[in-house]
Structure 1
Amino acid sequence: MDTLDNVGFQKTRRNQLGFNFGLGFENAQRIQRQNEREISVIIGNPPYNAKQKNENDNNKNRKYPDVDRRIKDTYLSVNKSQKTAIYDPYVRFIRWATDRLADKGILCFITNSSFIHKDNFRGFRKVVADEFSDIYLVDLGGDVRANPKLSGTKHNVFGIQAGVAIAFFVKQPQRKGQQARIHYASRPPIEVATDKLTFLHETKFKNVDFDRIKPDAKGNWLGQTDNDWKNLIPLVSKVTKATKNMAGEDALFKQFAPGYMSGRDEWVVDFNNAQLTEKAKLFAKVYHEHTSGSKEFDTEIKWSETLKSKLASGDKMIHVEEQKIRTLYRPYVSSFLHNSEILIDRIGAFNMFGIGPAYIGFSGIGSSKPFQTLASVSMMSYDCLEKTQCIPVHYYNKNGDKQPNITAWGLAQFRKHYGAASISGEDIFHYAYAVLYDPHYRAAYAQNLKQDFPRLPFYPDFGAWATAGRQLLALHLNYEKIQLLPGLGTYTPAPPHPRRARGQNPPQSRRRGRHYFLQRGGIAQRYSDRCLALPPRQPLGLGMGARPVQGAHAQGPHHPRPLRHIPLRRPRRGRGRPTGPRLHRQRRNYANRGCASRPVAPAAGGLSE
C-alpha cells in the first residue's frame, strides 16, 4: 500500500483500501502491528516534483486528503505561500514522517533543497523549527535554475536541475517547546558532483563544519539582512489592495497585478497578426469540438487545468478576430497577443487597468535574477522580467471611472516629508521609477528585493528624482521612436528564405546557423523591421583565422562576427583539381557564405592561425 495512505490502520481499511482492494489478511495484520509500534528513525529519498510540466501528459501527482489536510493546518496556516510548491511529494513525506515519528527520534531525508532557500517555504521553516529540537542541513547545491552557470550532469549529485540537500530532523523530549537549533553546512557552488560524492563518502558526520543559523522573524534561514528596509515606504502591499477604506492603507499604490500567464504562449503570442488569427481559429475549432463532460482531450492544442475548468463551465470562444492587442512579451520585444479569457489562463487585473496608461513592471518575490524594472503601455508577460508585477499610474473601477492609483496615505507621506503640497501622484510615480533604477538602491537592498515588494526611501531633492524618472519613463516607452545618436544608423534585414517565409525549414545545405538566420532576417527581422547598425570599430591590427580584421568589418551589419576563410577542397584520390562547373559551384557557395575563394593575407603585425 502507499505509505502516504497509511495515516491510521482503522481509517485505511474502512475508507481506502480494504480487503477487496487486495490488502490481504496477512498484510493487514502486518500494517496493524507496524502502526502499533513506535518508530524512532525514518530514512528516505522521496520524489520531488511539484507538478507535471504539461497538462497534455495527463500525469498529475496523486492527492492524499489526510496528509494534505495536515499540511494546510500546519505549514500553510503560518504562511499563505504558493500552494503548488508546498504540496510537493517530498513535503508530504516530511509531514507524514513528522507525525509518525515518536517523541524521541531522527528523521533523515535526501530531498530538494528548495525548503532551505525558497520564500514560499517560510511557513514550513517556522513549523519544523517548532516541531524539532535540532535540524542539521547539508546543502549539496547543484540548483541549475538558480545558477545558470552550473550543469546538472556535472555539478549535481543526481544529474538533475533541482538542488539537493540532506536533512536531519531530531526530536528530543527535554527540549520540547523550544525553538530548534539549526546547523547548516554547504559545499562550494561550483564543486563538481564527483567531489561532492567523495566528501560524503570520506567525511564523518562529527567532522562536518556546521554553522549555527538563527532564523529571522519571517522564517528565513539564509539570505538575512540587517538594514533599514522596514523603515522605508512600501510601494504596494496585499493589505492595501484588499482594503475597502483609507484607514487600512499602508502602501503608495493601491492596485497592482502580475503579468498575464497564458500557459500556452505558442498559441496566444505571435509577431505576425495574421498567423495569430489563424492559430486562434484552429484553437477555437478544437476547443469547441469538446463538451463540458469530456474525459478525453485532443492533444492538438495545449490543455491546462484552468482550460479544462472553463470547458466544464461551458465557456465559449467568441470574437476570435477582434481580441488582439499589443504586448510586451520580453524586454523591448513587442508582439501581438490574443487577449482571450479562454486562451489565457490568468489575465490578472490587467483588464481593470485598461489600455493606454503607463505601467511600472518589476521582478517579483522569489526571483533568481537580480532585480529588474521596466515601463510599458502594453500588457506585460509574467516572464517578461521574472515573476513580473505591474503598477499602473491609474486604473478603472467597476463603473468604468478613471481612478488615480496613488493612495491618500502615500500622498500624505510624501507631502508631509518634503513639505510640499504640490506633489502629485504622477510625480511620485516618476520618483519611484527613478529610485528603482538607482544602482546604489539596488545594491543596498538586493536581498530584500528578492524577498519582498519594493520599498522607497526619501531621497533629498524630490524634484530632481521625479524629473529624472519622467525622462527615463519617456525614453523606455518610446524607445522605437527616439532620435538616434550621431554615428548610428539603421538598416532593413534581407528577406528570409522563401521556405522559411512559408513556415518551413530551409534545406539542410542552406542552414548556416546563427549567421544564416541573421543574414536572412531571422530573429532581428521578427522583432523589428528596423535594425540598429553600430559604427565599425577601428581595427586593432589583429587577424582572425586567415581573415584580417579590416575584412571582417567590411562584411556589413549582417555578420556579428567574421567568418573564417574556407579553403577549396583538396582533389579526391584519382581525380584532378575541380574545374569548370564544379569549380564555379564551389566558389559560388563560398561567396554566398561571405568568404573569399582564396586565402587573404593577414594584416601587418597581426596574428593568424
Structure 2
Amino acid sequence: IELYDKFFKAAFPRLVERLGIVYTPVKVVDFIIYSANYALQKEFGRSLSDENVHILDPFTGTGTFITRLLQSGVIGPDDLEYKYTHELHANEIVLLAYYIASVNIENVYHDIRGEAEGEYTPFNGICLTDTFQLGETSGGEVLFSEMFPQNSKRVQEQQKAPVRVIIGNPPYSIGQKSANDNAQNLSYPRLEKRVMDTYVAKSEAGLNKSLYDAYIKAFRWASDRLDPKNGGIICYVSNGAWIDGNSTDGFRKTIEKEFSSIYVFNLRGNQRTSGELSRREGGKIFGSGSRTPIAVTLLIKKPQQTGKANIYYYEVEDYLTREEKLELTSHFGSIKSVPWKSIKPNEHGDWVNKRNEGFAEFLPLAPEKKFDMKTHSFFTTYSLGVATNKDAYMYNSSKIVLENTIQNMIDFYNEERIKANSIDTYEIKYDATKIVWTDMFIKSLNNNEEFTLNINQFTTSLYRPFFKQVFCYQKELIQRTYQQTKLFPLPDSDNLVICLSGIGASKDFSVLISDTIPDLQLIFNGQCFPLYWYDEHKQDSPTLFDSMADPTPSSYIRRDGISDFILERARSMYGNKTTKEDVFYYVYGILHSPKYRETYAADLKKMLPRLPL
C-alpha cells in the first residue's frame, strides 16, 4: 500500500497519470477471487483449482491478486504446484512493479509450500508486457524481445493458453488533463477498433470519449481474450461510472448481448459530486487513489448460450464510510451471499435510474440540426460554452493582469515557434508557468502562425455561477468556441442565453441565464440556448422580421433563437400577444420547476430537456 499510495505518486506522477495506477484493498481482492471460484463452479462445474483452468491477472501491479489467490485456499494443496508452474498468469508493464510482483508471488508460494532452503521455484507465469499491446499484431506483440528473451518466451506461451478466468483491477486513466503533462495514453488501433465496432456502434450518445477509457478497453480486451471454445469469467474492480453513464449505453448493450450472466456490486463513492449527493455516495474505496464510483463486475460467458444476459445488481446503502463498505464486502465474501436485484434494461440501455417514458411526449428544447429555421423544437440552435483549455491564461479578475499573462504566453509561443520552424531537431518546452500546449497551439506552431494580442477582444464572461471574469475572446487563442461566435459574434454583442447542465452530469440538473459569453464549465459541460443568434451581414440579406445589430464594419443580422413553430403553437394556446421572448422566459421558468426536475431527474442526466407547452 505504501508503495502505491506514496512512492509511485511521488516518484512517477506522469506514469501514474497515464496508467491510472491505484492500489486494490485486500478485502475487495478476496471478494473477487471467491466470486470467480463460485461462479466457475455454478456455471461450469469447475473450480479455480482444477487443471486446464488458466487464470490471468492482466494488470497485476505488485501481484496482490495472485498472492491472495495462493493464500485463499481455493487452490488445493495437491494442485498448487502445477497451478503455480503452469496455469497462473500475470502481466505488468512497470518494471519496478514487475519485479516486486515476482518476489511477492514467489515468497507467498514458498511460504505455503514450506520448501527447504535451496529448493526455489521461480514464478514463470509473470510477463513484463503491455497487456493491450498483445492483441495489436496477429502473433501478439512480444515486448523487450532482445533485452529479455526469456520474457518474450513467457509472453508467447501465455498467448497460447486457453484463459478461462480473468481477474484484476484495470487502469483507470482516460488521458492527460493537459498537453503540458506530456503523458498521453498509448494508442492501440486494433483494440480501439473493436471498441468502435461494438460499444460505440451500439451507443445512442453523441459523445463517446469515455468508451475509450482504459478500464473500458480492459473489458473489451478481456471479452475477446477468454477461451472462445469454452468461455469463462471476467471479474474486475473498476470505475463504476459505466453503470449509469449516458455515453456508456453502448457498452451496457454489448455486454448484455455477449455474456450469459452479469453481476454488478456497486460500491459507489462518486466524489465528482458535491453537497448532500456526495455525502450519500459515501467513502471512496480507493481512498485518494480515485474519485470515481467503484464497482465489482463479474461477467460469465457461455458460448453455447443464446439470448441476452441475466443481470443482477446490488448497490451499497447511502452514507457508508470506506471502512463500512470494505467490511460489508468481507461479510458477503462472494457473489453467492449478496442480495441481488434482477435488472431488465429498457430499449435505451438504461439499467438503473431509468428514464421516464412520458418525457418523450414533450417537445424538444434542441433542434436535430442547428440553425434549422423550420424545426419543431423550442430553439433553432444551441451551443456548448467556450472551452479555452487554458483558463488560467484566458480569464482573470484584473484586466491588467490578464493582459500581461496573455502577452507573456504569446511571447513564449512565438519564441518556441521560431525555434521549432528553424531547427529541425528542436523539441518545444513544456512549461506550465508559461503556456498550455493544446493541440490547436501545436498545429498553429507547426504551421508557423504568429500570434499577436488584440486587447479589443477583451470582454466579460460568466466563468462560474455568479462569478464573472475578464475574458480574452480572441478566437485563435481559444481551443473551442463551438457556436458561441454565432451567439456572441463580438465582445459586446447583445444576447441572453439559458445555460443548463450537459448530458451525463454527475451533479443535479442546474440552469442559469447569462448576458455574457459562458464558459463550458459554468455548469457541467453546459449547453446554451439563445434568445438570439447572429449572421454576418455580408452573407445574408435581412428579412422584414430581422433587425440590424451592431452597425459596424462587421455588421450582423440578428436572428431569433426561438422557432417560428413554437411561437405559432404558443399563440394558439395563449393568444397572439405572446412573443418569442415570452417563450424564452417560459422555458427558463419550467426548467426551474422543482416538480419537473424531480420527476424527470433521470432523463435530464441522459438527454437534453424536453418541455410541455
What corresponds to 1:64 in structure 2? Answer: 188
Given the alignment, which residue of 456, 467, 472 partners 1:333?
467
The amino acid of 1:133's aligned partner reads: S
SS at match of 1:146: coil
The amino acid of 1:109's aligned partner reads: Y
Partners of 1:221 and 1:349 in 2: CA distance = 34
What corresponds to 2:397 in structure 1? Answer: 271
What corresponds to 2:27 in structure 1? Answer: none
1:406 matched to 2:562? The reply is yes
Gaps of 5+ in 2: 1-128, 540-555
Given the alignment, which residue of 439, 446, 458 partners 1:324?
458
Displacement, 1:29? 4.6
What corresponds to 1:97 in structure 2? Answer: 222
Contact 1:51 1:84 in 2 (8 A): no
Alignment CA distance shift 1:404-1:8 (3 Å): closer
The amino acid of 1:112's aligned partner reads: N
Where do residues 263-412 of structure 1 align in structure 2 (5 Å cutoff)? 263-291=389-417, 295-299=427-431, 300-354=434-488, 355-397=493-535, 399=539, 400-412=556-568
Contact 2:269 2:281 in 1 (8 A): no
Contact 1:77 1:123 in 2 (8 A): yes
Alignment CA distance shift 1:27-1:368 (3 Å): closer
Given the alignment, which residue of 581, 585, 592 partners 1:437?
592
What corresponds to 2:353 in structure 1? Answer: 223
What corresponds to 1:115 in structure 2? Answer: 242
Alignment CA distance shift 1:326-1:199 (3 Å): same
Contact 1:55 1:302 in 2 (8 A): yes
1:141 matched to 2:268? The reply is yes
Partners of 1:336 and 1:8 in 2: CA distance = 48
Alignment CA distance shift 1:440-1:154 (3 Å): closer
1:82 matched to 2:214? The reply is no
Partners of 1:9 and 1:389 in 2: CA distance = 42
Report 1 or 2 for greater relative contact order, CA contacts < 8 Å, sequence distance ≥ 6.
Answer: 2
SS at match of 1:289: helix
Contact 2:268 2:282 in 1 (8 A): no
Where do residues 484-495 of structure 1 align in structure 2 (5 Å cutoff)? none
Displacement, 1:311? 2.5
Alignment CA distance shift 1:269-1:162 (3 Å): same
What corresponds to 2:381 in structure 1? Answer: 255
Task: Say which is worse superposed, 58-67 or 32-41, in terms of deviation.
Answer: 32-41
Where do residues 208-219 of structure 1 align in structure 2 (5 Å cutoff)? 208-219=338-349
Partners of 2:279 and 2:356 in 1: CA distance = 33
The amino acid of 1:215's aligned partner reads: P
SS at match of 1:175: coil
Partners of 1:112 and 1:347 in 2: CA distance = 31
Alignment CA distance shift 1:96-1:341 (3 Å): same
The amino acid of 1:403's aligned partner reads: R
Alignment CA distance shift 1:308-1:394 (3 Å): same
What corresponds to 2:82 in structure 1? Answer: none
Contact 2:520 2:526 in 1 (8 A): yes
Partners of 2:483 and 2:463 in 1: CA distance = 17
Given the alignment, which residue of 242, 249, 252 partners 1:125?
252
Task: Say which is worse superposed, 120-129 or 147-156, in terms of deviation.
Answer: 147-156
Contact 2:356 2:602 in 1 (8 A): no
Displacement, 1:28? 4.6
Displacement, 1:446? 2.1
Contact 2:532 2:559 in 1 (8 A): yes
TM-score of the two chains, using structure 2 as the length reference: 0.68
Partners of 1:121 and 1:96 in 2: CA distance = 16
Where do residues 449-528 of structure 1 align in structure 2 (5 Å cutoff)? 449-458=604-613
Partners of 1:225 and 1:301 in 2: CA distance = 43
Partners of 1:352 and 1:147 in 2: CA distance = 33
The amino acid of 1:145's aligned partner reads: R
CA deviation profile, 1:540-595 (whole Å, cap 9, x unmatched): xxxxxxxxxxxxxxxxxxxxxxxxxxxxxxxxxxxxxxxxxxxxxxxxxxxxxxxx
Alignment CA distance shift 1:53-1:425 (3 Å): same
SS at match of 1:173: coil
Alignment CA distance shift 1:106-1:207 (3 Å): same
Displacement, 1:51? 1.7
SS at match of 1:356: coil
Partners of 2:217 and 2:148 in 1: CA distance = 23
Contact 1:81 1:121 in 2 (8 A): no
1:199 matched to 2:328? The reply is yes
The amino acid of 2:480's aligned partner reads: R
Displacement, 1:282? 0.8
The amino acid of 2:438's aligned partner reads: S
Contact 1:12 1:18 in 2 (8 A): no
Contact 1:240 1:251 in 2 (8 A): no
CA deviation profile, 1:129-166 (whole Å, cap 9, x unmatched): 11111110011111111255658998222103222111
The amino acid of 1:52's aligned partner reads: Q
SS at match of 2:495: coil
Contact 2:313 2:340 in 1 (8 A): yes
Where do residues 30-49 of structure 1 align in structure 2 (5 Å cutoff)? 30-49=154-173
